[in-house]
């Protein structure tokens, strides 16, 4: 039996990974204790997704309600399956800038200590397994804000003569800038995953994601940009835009396209790799542009207000250069752009959100 362990298995990326790797013949052990509901409230609960996975995948999916900070529980689980573990997809995290500042210790122990527990359990019980980590572009802190940016009507844009015009590469420094406490805890985890690959020769990869999104996202105010934006548009919930005139730009990658990248790495792994991964120039938008698309798709106006103060460490313009990953895995392609993504989010969730907002 070949095992894939997926942490955060009922979340956006974890659930997509669970479905995919179960479909290609692995038995998925999903670790998820619905910490999201504790962090962000009941509206952010992933319980509905856990139940869907159990119903859809049957005996190809085994759910474990464990906390990745509990190293004894993680060690027992990895010892139980041992060398049958072929893949670890680590998506569990505390994902919010704002929440991290409220409880830095919990943020760090989830993001950094939890990652260390999983890496060490893999090294001890399944050293040949492929270990994939969902990091974040926030490891670059506010360094991207030093790029030469030009203000346009609806967005900020980079000077087209700059080397990063096609996107920000992995060579950008992560040092001596403001990260937010969330960014700092993810830096620690990011470097640990690299080190276990390079020092111990394990098959590890760090995927520094832009905005990871899709219809299975349990969007909430502090995390899940596109899903929460569409939810507010549908339900009439007030939405706040923070800073940069609402012209800040993000690239957005659909969870399907990200998991396809994971699959390519799993089938031809390397050691200690780092990849910027996102929608790149193929799928990106400003906040104002995203609002317009949500309103067009839903036929409703978003009730939003603007606050001049931006979030600490937030990016003005971030588009991922995915050419390194594409160079290593040339068969991989992005397939879903921003219009596709928001359309899917709307179609998949409008009934549930309209009922919740009634």
The one-digit pLDDT tens for each residue of the chain (358 residues) are 899 999 999 999 999 999 999 999 999 999 999 877 767 777 777 888 889 999 999 999 999 999 999 999 999 999 999 999 999 999 999 888 778 889 999 999 999 999 999 999 999 999 999 999 999 999 999 999 999 999 999 999 999 999 999 999 999 999 999 998 999 999 999 999 999 999 999 999 999 998 999 887 655 554 557 888 999 999 999 999 999 999 999 999 999 999 999 999 999 999 999 999 999 999 999 999 999 999 999 999 999 999 999 887 789 999 999 999 999 999 999 999 999 999 999 998 887 676 655 4
pLDDT of 94 reads 87
Neighbours of 90 (CB within 10 A): 27
DSSP 165: T
- Angle 311-169-88 from CA coordinates, rounded to 5°: 85
Measuring CA to CA, which residue among 45, 51, 53, 43 is closest to residue 14?
Answer: 53
pLDDT of 149 reads 98
- The number of domains in the chain is 1
C-beta separation of 201 from 189 below 8 A: no
pLDDT (tens digit per residue) in 23-69: 999 999 999 998 777 677 777 778 888 899 999 999 999 999 999 99
Instruction: Read off the CATH number of the domain in which 353 is found.
Output: 3.40.50.720
Torsion, CA 100, CA 101, CA 102, CA 104, rounded to 10? 60
pLDDT (tens digit per residue) in 266-301: 999 999 999 999 999 999 999 999 999 999 999 999
C-beta separation of 230 from 302 below 8 A: no
Query: Exposure pattern of 168-179 as b/e (b: 16+ CB <10 Å)?
Result: bebebebeebeb
Strand, coil or helix: what is 13? helix
Separation in Å, CA 34 to CA 22, 39, 93, 186: 21, 9, 11, 20
Domain that holds residue 201: 3-357
Residue 261 to residue 41: CA distance in whole angstroms: 31
């Amino acid at each position: 039996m070949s095992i894939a362990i997926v942490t955060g298995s009922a979340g956006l990326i974890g659930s997509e990974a669970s479905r995919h790797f179960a479909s290609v013949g692995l038995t998925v052990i999903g670790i998820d204790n619905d910490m999201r509901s504790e962090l962000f409230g009941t509206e952010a609960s992933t319980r509905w997704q856990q139940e869907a996975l159990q119903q859809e995948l049957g005996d190809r999916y085994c759910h474990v309600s464990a906390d990745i900070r509990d190293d004894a529980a993680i060690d027992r689980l990895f010892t139980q399956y041992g060398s049958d573990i072929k893949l670890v997809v680590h998506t569990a995290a505390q994902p919010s800038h704002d929440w991290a500042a409220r409880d830095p210790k919990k943020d760090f122990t989830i993001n950094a200590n939890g990652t260390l527990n999983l890496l060490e359990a893999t090294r001890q019980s399944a050293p040949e397994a492929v270990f994939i980590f969902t990091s974040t572009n926030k490891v670059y802190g506010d360094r991207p804000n030093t790029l030469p940016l030009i203000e346009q009507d609806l967005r900020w844009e980079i000077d087209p003569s700059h080397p990063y015009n096609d996107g920000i590469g992995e060579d950008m420094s992560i040092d001596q800038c403001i990260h937010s406490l969330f960014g700092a805890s993810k830096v620690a985890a990011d470097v640990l995953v690299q080190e276990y690959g390079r020092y111990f020769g394990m098959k590890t990869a760090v995927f520094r994601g832009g905005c990871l999104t899709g219809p299975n996202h349990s969007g909430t105010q502090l995390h899940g940009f596109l899903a929460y934006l569409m939810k507010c548009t549908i339900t009439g919930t007030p939405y706040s835009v923070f800073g940069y005139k609402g012209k800040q730009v993000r690239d957005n990658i659909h969870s399907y396209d990200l998991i396809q990248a994971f699959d390519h790495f799993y089938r031809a792994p390397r050691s200690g790799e780092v990849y910027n991964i996102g929608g790149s120039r193929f799928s990106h938008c400003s906040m104002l542009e995203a609002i317009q698309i949500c309103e067009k798709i839903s036929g409703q106006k978003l009730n939003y207000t603007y606050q001049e103060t931006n979030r600490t460490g937030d990016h003005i313009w971030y588009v991922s250069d995915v050419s390194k990953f594409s160079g290593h895995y040339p068969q991989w392609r992005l397939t879903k752009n921003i219009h596709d993504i928001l359309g899917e989010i709307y179609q998949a969730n409008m009934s549930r959100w309209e009922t919740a907002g009634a």
